[in-house]
Amino acid sequence: MRRVVVESPATVSEVLFGCSWQTTFERIEGRGSVIITDHNIDRIYGALFPKGVPVIAVKPGEESKSISTIEDIVSQMVSIGIDREGFVLGIGGGVVCDIAGFVASVYMRGVEFGFISTSLLSQVDASTGGKNGINVSGSKNVIGLFNQPRFVICDSAMLKTLPESEYFQGLSELLKAALIADRELLETIISLSGQLSSADLSPIDDLVFRAVEIKASVVTRDEREHGVRRILNFGHTFGHAAELCYNIPHGNAVAWGMLAAIKFSRSEGYLSGEDSETLAGLIESLNILPDKSIDVDRVADRIQYDKKRSGEGIHFVFLRSPGEAFTRLVSISDLALFLRSFKL
Ligand SMILES: NC(=O)c1ccc[n+]([C@@H]2O[C@H](COP(=O)([O-])OP(=O)(O)OC[C@H]3O[C@@H](n4cnc5c(N)ncnc54)[C@H](O)[C@@H]3O)[C@@H](O)[C@H]2O)c1
């Protein structure tokens, strides 16, 4: 078993790899726990959940990250009799982790929680780091809080049942970790690029482990995103805007945003032409880009509504070289100007 630790001023959170997800149950039995999951996970794995622990299953998908779902879960927890000593175990992808982390953080002013992370995207990114957010009126993660889970279990065996399209959403965030912080991981992804698919999960354990090490190290240094944590937003400024315009999956949108950010890093003179071409070629080869064409003018118009906007600018994440990112405050108008000139 391998372990990565996220240290924050309030808690120590551990992410565990190479152990069966069912070993987690020893940690929760006999303490007034509740499992929060979605209907897909419940259908596939529910029979293996521990007997006697109540299960609350939500509808799969982003729409469940809503106030009405939270209200419904809280009512059920009250009826079940979960008290302040209770424990919330989220079993699912990023949606379930966000919901379970949010509910646990506010229920009776906060109970402990942990995750069994079942999608590639949640294993490499969403379940680690202590951000717990839900959506309001179409604004993503607009209410939420920082609070670390006690533990996160990443069991790659669970990825065998993940739909292939979801695998590629996670691959995009995995690539992001390499691009911003680890040239060696990037070289590994380049060497595996033709083979990375949900049909062969053998390389995935090591790749996920390294991505989580990167995220944990960044979050430990800056839990509240006042500085270095911003680099985790690489590809997200342009990506989020495209995601909102076209309602495309998050990982595809981030892949497109990373491609644009690579070209922007080149045009600002940070990245060499050769590196820019290599990285763009890699993104194109990984099967992670959106399957529809993106109108850059439409996306450029959307940049001004970015929720990470700071006054007239955004702390934009550039690459200085493959595996090294930094941020610079760039005005909204300069971001939009670049984007209007961006061609895939
Ligand atoms: N809190 C954070 O720091 C953070 C970071 C990144 C993303 N997120 C959030 O994560 C969410 C996206 O997460 P996601 O991509 O995991 O989406 P998701 O949770 O909706 O899962 C995608 C689909 O795969 C299914 N699924 C998950 N694991 C499965 C498995 N092992 N077998 C079969 N089916 C499985 C789910 O039921 C769902 O239908 C977004 O809401 C995003 O905002 C949060």
Judge whether 91 and 97 are in contact, CB under 8 Å.
Answer: no
* 114 Cβ below 6 A of ligand 1: no
* 155 Cβ below 6 A of ligand 1: no
Instruction: Give the other-Cβ count within 10 Å of 107's Cβ.
Output: 21
Q: Do 2-161 and 164-200+223-341 come out as alike in CATH topology?
A: no
Ligand 1 centroid – CA 92 distance (Å): 7
Q: Tell me, which fold does domain 2-161 have in CATH?
A: Rossmann fold (3.40.50)
Q: Could you tell which of 59, 91, 102, 122 is best to mutate to test the pocket of ligand 1, judged by most ligand atoms within 8 Å of the CB?
A: 122
* 174 Cβ below 6 A of ligand 1: no
Closest C-alpha to 251, from 167, 131, 308: 167
| Structural tokens at position 230 | 């911003």
Nearest CA to ligand 1 atom 15: 121
Q: Could you tell which of 13, 62, 95 is best to mutate to test the pocket of ligand 1, judged by most ligand atoms within 8 Å of the CB?
A: 95
Per-residue pLDDT of the chain (344 residues; tens, 9 = 90+): 999 999 988 889 999 999 999 998 888 877 799 999 999 999 999 999 999 999 999 999 999 999 999 999 999 999 999 999 999 999 999 999 999 999 999 999 999 999 999 999 999 999 999 999 999 987 888 999 999 999 999 999 999 999 999 999 999 999 999 999 999 999 999 999 888 888 888 899 999 999 999 999 999 999 999 999 999 999 999 999 999 899 999 999 999 999 999 999 999 999 999 999 999 999 999 999 999 999 999 999 999 988 888 889 999 999 999 999 999 999 999 999 999 998 76
Q: What is the pLDDT of residue 223?
A: 95
- What is the value of pTM for the model shown? 0.96
CATH of 164-200+223-341, one of 1.20.120.1080, 1.20.1090.10, 3.30.565.10, 3.40.605.10: 1.20.1090.10
* 96 Cβ below 6 A of ligand 1: yes
Q: What is the pLDDT of residue 219?
A: 97
* 94 Cβ below 6 A of ligand 1: yes
- E strands in 39-182: 55-58, 87-92, 112-117, 131-136, 139-146, 151-154
Nearest CA to ligand 1 atom 14: 94
Distance CA 15, CA 90 (A): 14
Q: What is the pLDDT of residue 94?
A: 97
Judge whether 283 and 255 are in contact, CB under 8 Å.
Answer: yes
* 119 Cβ below 6 A of ligand 1: yes
Ligand 1 centroid – CA 340 distance (Å): 31
* 121 Cβ below 6 A of ligand 1: yes
Q: Map out the domains of the chain as residue ranges.
A: 2-161, 164-200+223-341
